[in-house]
């Protein structure tokens, strides 16, 4: 019996933890179980052909909102070319209403719902023996043309009974993200989230977790993304893990956690002060700062405390912070969302993720959709179109604004230029991104793709047309942003500032041993021509570093300044270069 576990991931770098759990759970009894992962960007005929050619007896798909439509098309066509093939589905997108999934998709023979390890094992045992599925908990099946949905399977009490999906050989994860969990379940009951359908939190033992993390550290993987719904729900558990990672840090691997910021206490804060830059990355779900909204979605977040935590962690300058907002929640009008946006933006996280409400199957917000007049797409991912508080026109405006945030804020490449505009010319950050979106619409910029240089040029044009004040200072700042992010010559839309004998001065600077020791110590005994491959030296009309350090005071006087950009910094978490004001 040859079995395939497969899925269509959103991106190549993603890996599916669920499939690996299933395989390791049954591999002692069933040897011919294989994992193949594709992406939603792969050609569908290619996937169909690859699966068909390997002559599987059973194909099991892991189904999510991003892949369900293509998965069902694959199931239909696989059944056409191999009518004897057994097709089973699992995952959150088919677990809520398996009977409907099977009745609408005759090619699907089984749906496994809920926690899958024990169900999958029993499924294979029954298939191997040719027995009926009447008493297999957590499965829907067909018999004599009818669909039967069995009772739910109880959750696994001892998570350590599930074998680890990771061994010492991690070669298959090269250039990919490793997904990991130290717990299952969530202590919260947010109405838009499927985690609220499973009560309680269960933890893997610390010995088990340390063993797995030790493998990741030994192999120097790029990133480990914890999928614990609230990683710091249990402080003792989360702090123990983070301390272990700090003590065994390999100087390379990054660990991403979804946390609740207002649960971070003083002990944890003191610990976080001294971790390596880039060791941790926190994703914090704010979703809204409107009290009525927070109450309606059953979310327990103290934004005042959250703000204090975020500000303090930001001061450490060692941990990336990603804060999330959701547009389309109950009671949140366009103007109220604007306030939520400004509240979160003013915390200056490294990334502000603006998402749109998805009415997931089984979530309480979808069960009660009429209460707030929700209209949403019938197709996955079931994204909001409008509700009683936001029109579709409002949603479209926020879609454009979201793209502006991605380009001008989350990219990190224009941070100083945008901060200068916000501080000096806007009382509301939201209004700036709203104006940028309108400018893009008016100039047809949403309809074509733009390279990185063009993004800077568009912001320069926007400033010169809409703001104008001290345009030469803004251009200098924008030029600094560009050079701090990109090795190479200046784009031609920036003005060049030349000084006499520039090349000779640079040559003399790089041959001065004191300069090398002071600014570029890693290049001692390196030829000047080779150092130039790693740096850029650029002149500015203003002392830009002083301007930034003094909070973008636009009364600064002109003063030609030379800045050296070094792009060989080993840890490039917050900056793509380090830079110094120098004298040539």
pLDDT tens digits along 396-454: 999 999 999 999 999 999 999 999 999 999 999 999 999 999 999 999 999 999 999 99
What pLDDT is stored for residue 498 in this prediction?
A: 85
Long-range contacts of 30-35 (CB under 8 A, 24+ apart): 30/1, 30/3, 30/124, 30/128, 32/1, 32/2, 32/3, 33/3, 33/4, 33/5, 33/124, 34/2, 34/3, 34/4, 34/5, 35/4, 35/5, 35/6
Output the six-digit token pair for 452: 């990185």
Fold exhibited by the domain 170-390: pyruvate-formate lyase- activating enzyme (3.80.30)
Output the six-digit token pair for 138: 């957590």
pLDDT exceeds cutoff 80 at 570: no
Phi, psi of 185 (to 5 degrees): 100, 175
CB 33 within 8 A of CB 15: no
pLDDT exceeds cutoff 70 at 572: no
> The whole model's pTM is what?
0.92
219-254 pLDDT per residue, tens: 999 999 999 999 999 999 999 999 999 999 999 999
Please report the beta strands in 93-227, taking only residues with DSSP state E, as ranges in sequence order: 110-112, 139-143, 146-149, 178-180, 183-185, 201-203, 223-226
Residue partners of 390: CB distance under 8 A and separation at least 6 = 327, 328, 332, 333, 334, 337, 384
Chain centroid to CA 465: 34
**Residue 410 DSSP class:** I
3-state secondary structure of 360: coil
CA distances from 67 to 319, 348, 352, 534 (A): 32, 33, 25, 42
Residues listed for the chain: 584
3-state secondary structure of 144: coil
pLDDT exceeds cutoff 60 at 571: no
CB 306 within 8 A of CB 284: yes
280-320 pLDDT per residue, tens: 999 999 999 999 999 999 988 899 999 999 999 999 999 99
Q: How far apart, in whole angstroms, are the C-alpha atoms of residue 159 and residue 246?
A: 25
455-476 pLDDT per residue, tens: 999 999 999 999 999 999 999 9
**Helix or strand (DSSP H, E) at 39:** strand 33-39
CB 243 within 8 A of CB 237: no
CB 365 within 8 A of CB 359: yes
Query: Residue 254's closest CA among 281, 282, 218, 232?
Result: 281
pLDDT exceeds cutoff 60 at 196: no
**Mean pLDDT, range 160-164, rounded to an integer:** 97
3-state secondary structure of 317: coil
pLDDT exceeds cutoff 90 at 20: yes
Query: Residue 486's closest CA among 417, 412, 541?
Result: 412
Mean pLDDT, all residues of the chain: 95
Strands 33-39 and 223-226, by their bridges, are: unpaired
The CATH class given to the 3-149 domain equals alpha beta
CA distances from 424 to 335, 555, 558 (A): 22, 11, 18
**Mean pLDDT, range 21-47, rounded to an integer:** 96
3-state secondary structure of 273: coil
**Helix or strand (DSSP H, E) at 62:** strand 58-62
CB 436 within 8 A of CB 403: no
pLDDT exceeds cutoff 60 at 92: yes
* Share above pLDDT 70 across residues of the chain, in percent, rounded to a whole number: 98
Query: Residue 406's closest CA among 351, 325, 455, 456?
Result: 351
| Locus of tokens 């879609």 | 399
């Amino acid at each position: 019996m040859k079995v395939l576990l497969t899925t269509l991931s959103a991106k190549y770098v993603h890996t599916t933890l669920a499939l690996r759990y299933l395989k390791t759970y049954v591999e002692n009894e069933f040897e011919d179980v294989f994992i193949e992962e594709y992406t939603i960007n792969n050609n569908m005929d290619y996937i169909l052909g690859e699966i068909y050619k390997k002559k599987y007896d059973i194909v099991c798909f892991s189904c999510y909102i991003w892949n369900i439509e293509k998965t069902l098309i694959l199931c239909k066509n696989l059944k056409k070319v191999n009518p004897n093939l057994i097709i089973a589905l699992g995952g959150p997108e088919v677990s809520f209403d398996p009977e409907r999934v099977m009745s609408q998709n005759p090619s699907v023979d089984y749906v496994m719902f809920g926690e899958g390890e024990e169900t999958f094992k029993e499924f294979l045992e029954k298939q191997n023996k040719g027995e009926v599925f009447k008493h297999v908990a957590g499965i829907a099946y067909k018999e004599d043309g009818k669909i039967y949905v069995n009772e739910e399977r109880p959750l696994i009490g001892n998570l350590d009974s599930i074998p680890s999906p990771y061994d010492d050989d991690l070669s298959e994860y090269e250039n990919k993200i490793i997904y990991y969990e130290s717990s299952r379940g969530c202590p919260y009951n947010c109405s838009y989230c499927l985690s609220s359908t499973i009560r309680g939190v269960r933890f893997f033992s610390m010995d088990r977790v340390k063993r797995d993390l030790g493998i990741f550290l030994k192999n120097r993987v790029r990133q480990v993304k914890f999928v614990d719904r609230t990683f710091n729900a249990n402080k003792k558990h989360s702090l123990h893990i983070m301390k272990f990672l700090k003590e065994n840090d390999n100087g390379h691997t990054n660990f991403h956690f979804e946390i609740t910021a207002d649960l971070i206490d003083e002990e944890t804060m003191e610990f976080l002060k001294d971790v390596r830059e880039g060791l941790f990355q926190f994703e914090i779900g704010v979703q809204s700062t409107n009290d009525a909204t927070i109450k309606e979605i059953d979310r327990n977040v103290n934004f005042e405390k959250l703000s204090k935590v975020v500000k303090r962690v930001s001061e450490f300058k060692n941990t990336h912070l990603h804060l999330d907002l959701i547009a389309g929640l109950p009671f949140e009008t366009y103007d109220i969302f604007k306030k939520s946006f400004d509240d979160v933006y003013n915390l200056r996280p490294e990334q502000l993720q603006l998402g749109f409400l998805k009415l997931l199957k089984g979530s309480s917000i979808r069960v009660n959709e009429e209460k707030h007049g929700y209209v949403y797409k019938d197709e996955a991912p079931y994204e909001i179109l409008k509700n009683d508080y936001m029109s579709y026109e409002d949603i479209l405006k926020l879609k454009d604004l979201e793209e502006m945030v991605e380009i001008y804020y989350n990219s990190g490449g224009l941070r100083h230029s945008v901060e200068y505009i916000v501080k000096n010319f806007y009382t509301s950050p939201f209004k700036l991104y709203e104006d940028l979106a309108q400018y893009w619409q008016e100039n047809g910029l949403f309809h074509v793709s733009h390279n990185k240089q063009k993004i800077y040029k568009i912001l320069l044009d926007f400033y010169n047309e809409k703001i104008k004040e001290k345009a030469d200072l803004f251009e200098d700042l924008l030029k600094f942003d560009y050079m701090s992010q990109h090795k190479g010559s200046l784009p031609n839309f920036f003005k060049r500032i030349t000084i006499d004998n520039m090349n000779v001065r640079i040559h003399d600077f790089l041959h001065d041993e004191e300069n090398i020791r002071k600014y570029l110590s890693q290049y001692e005994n390196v030829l000047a021509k080779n150092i130039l491959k790693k740096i850029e030296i650029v002149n500015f009309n203003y002392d830009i570093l002083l301007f930034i350090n003094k909070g973008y005071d636009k009364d600064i006087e002109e003063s030609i300044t030379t800045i050296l950009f070094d792009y060989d910094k080993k840890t490039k978490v917050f900056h793509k270069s380090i830079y110094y004001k120098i004298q040539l």
